[in-house]
Amino acid sequence: MSTKYRDVFIEAFRRLPHRVIWKYDVELNGVSDNVLIQKWLPQQDILGNNKVKLFITHGGLLSQQESIMPILSSLFQ
């Protein structure tokens, strides 16, 4: 991701009244307190949490599968 787009995301996340969890491979300084940036995150566990309101992805197959699993499993509970 270019620096320009990265900075747009950082500014947009800063303005949100929500907590943002962002998997990003580079350590960033100066992000707001509502943004948690990590190189690795337990994506399935996070997506399975009922507090998650939005999932933004590049559209990779594994991310799509992991985002669907909590939905499917909730149908059979």
Enumerate the domain spans of the chain: 1-39, 42-77
Contact 68, 61 (CB under 8 A): no
pLDDT bin (cut points 50, 70, 90) of residue 65 is low
Q: What are the pLDDT digits (tens) for 11-31?
A: 999 999 999 999 999 988 889
Instruction: Tell me which of 76 and 15 has the higher pLDDT.
Output: 15
> Rounded to an integer, what distance in angstroms lies between the CA atom of residue 5 and that of residue 45?
27
Side chain identity at residue 74, one-letter code: S
Residue 68 region, left (φ>0) first, then alpha (ψ -120 to 50), else beta?
Answer: alpha
Find where tokens 């990779």 sit: 60
User: What's the confidence (pLDDT) of residue 70?
Assistant: 58
User: What's the confidence (pLDDT) of residue 76?
Assistant: 56
Q: What are the pLDDT digits (tens) for 42-60?
A: 988 888 888 888 877 776 7
> Rounded to an integer, what distance in angstroms lies between the CA atom of residue 14 and that of residue 57?
19
Model-wide pTM > 0.85: no
